[in-house]
Chains A and B, each alone.
Chain A
Amino acid sequence: MREVAVIAVAQTPSVRRERTRNEVEMLMPVLAEALRRSGLRREEIGFTVSGSCDYLAGQPFSFVSALDAVGAWPPITESHVEMDGAFALYEAWIKLQTGEVDSALVYAFGKSSMGDLPEVLGYQLDPYVLAPLGVDAVSLAALQARAWLEATGRSERDLARVAVRSRRDALENPNAQLKGTFELEKLLAEPYLVAPLRKHDCPPISDGAAAVVLAGDEVARRVCRRPAWIRGIDQRIEPHAPGVRDLARSPSSELAGRNAGARHGRIDVAELHAPFTHQEWILREALGLGEEVTVNPSGGALAANPMMVAGLLRIGEAAQRVMDGRARRALAHATAGPCLQQNLVCVLEA
Chain B
Amino acid sequence: MSEPVKSIVTPVRLDYVYTAGVASTRFLQGLAQGRILGQRCPVTGKVYVPPRGSSPTHGVPTEEEVEVSDKGTVTTYCIVRIPSENLSVKPPFVCAHILLDGADIPFFALIQGCPFDQVRMGMRVRAVWAPKEELAPTFESIRWFEPIDEPDAAYESYAEHL
- A: residues with CB less than 8 A from B are 18-22, 24-25, 28, 31-32, 42, 55, 58, 65, 67-73, 111, 113-116, 119-120, 123, 127-128, 131-132
Q: Please tell me if the beta carbons of B8 and A132 are within 8 angstroms of each other in the complex.
A: yes
List the one stretch of B21-29, B74-82, B122-130, B151-159 in contact with chain A.
Answer: B21-29
Known contacts A28-B61, A132-B10; is A111 also within 8 Å of B55 by CB?
Answer: no
Known contacts A71-B58, A131-B10, A132-B10; is A24 also within 8 Å of B19 by CB?
Answer: no
> CB-CB < 8 A to A132: which residues of B?
8, 10
CB distance from A195 to the nearest CB of B (A): 26
Dominant secondary structure at the B interface: loop
Q: Please tell me if the beta carbons of B53 and A116 are within 8 angstroms of each other in the complex.
A: no
Q: Which residues of chain B in 9-43 are interfacial with respect to chain A, using CB atoms and an 8 Å cutoff?
A: 10, 12, 14-24
> CB-CB < 8 A to B60: which residues of A?
28, 32, 71
In the bound assembly, the distance between CA atoms of A127 and B22 in angstroms comes to 37
Q: Please tell me if the beta carbons of B53 and A58 are within 8 angstroms of each other in the complex.
A: no
In the complex formed, the residue of B with least CB distance to A113 is B17
Q: Does B91 contact A (CB under 8 A)?
A: no
Q: Please tell me if the beta carbons of A58 and B58 are within 8 angstroms of each other in the complex.
A: no
In the bound assembly, the distance between CA atoms of A31 and B60 in angstroms comes to 10
In the bound assembly, the distance between CA atoms of A220 and B20 in angstroms comes to 39
Q: Does B56 contact A (CB under 8 A)?
A: yes
Among B19, B22, B59, the residue within 8 A (CB) of A69 is B59
In the bound assembly, the distance between CA atoms of A97 and B143 in angstroms comes to 53
CB distance from B131 to the nearest CB of A (A): 30
- B: residues with CB less than 8 A from A are 8, 10, 12, 14-24, 52-61
In the complex formed, the residue of B with least CB distance to A22 is B21
Q: Please tell me if the beta carbons of A58 and B18 are within 8 angstroms of each other in the complex.
A: yes
In the bound assembly, the distance between CA atoms of A305 and B46 in angstroms comes to 38
Q: Please tell me if the beta carbons of B21 and A114 are within 8 angstroms of each other in the complex.
A: no
> CB-CB < 8 A to A70: which residues of B?
59
> CB-CB < 8 A to A68: which residues of B?
52, 54, 56, 59
CB distance from B139 to the nearest CB of A (A): 16
In the bound assembly, the distance between CA atoms of A40 and B14 in angstroms comes to 41
Q: Please tell me if the beta carbons of A25 and B17 are within 8 angstroms of each other in the complex.
A: no
Q: Please tell me if the beta carbons of A67 and B56 are within 8 angstroms of each other in the complex.
A: yes
> CB-CB < 8 A to A131: which residues of B?
10
Chosen A-B contacts, 13 in total, with CB atoms closer than 8 Å, are A21-B19, A21-B22, A22-B21, A22-B53, A24-B53, A25-B61, A71-B59, A71-B60, A115-B14, A116-B14, A116-B15, A127-B10, A131-B10
> CB-CB < 8 A to B16: which residues of A?
58, 114-115
- Given contact pairs A21-B21, A71-B60, enumerate 16 new A-B contacts (beta carbons under 8 Å): A18-B19, A21-B19, A22-B19, A22-B20, A22-B22, A22-B53, A25-B22, A25-B54, A42-B59, A55-B14, A69-B54, A71-B57, A114-B19, A115-B16, A123-B14, A132-B8
> CB-CB < 8 A to A24: which residues of B?
21, 52-54
> CB-CB < 8 A to A22: which residues of B?
19-22, 24, 53
> CB-CB < 8 A to B54: which residues of A?
24-25, 28, 68-69, 71
CB distance from A205 to the nearest CB of B (A): 12
In the bound assembly, the distance between CA atoms of A128 and B54 in angstroms comes to 42
> CB-CB < 8 A to B24: which residues of A?
22
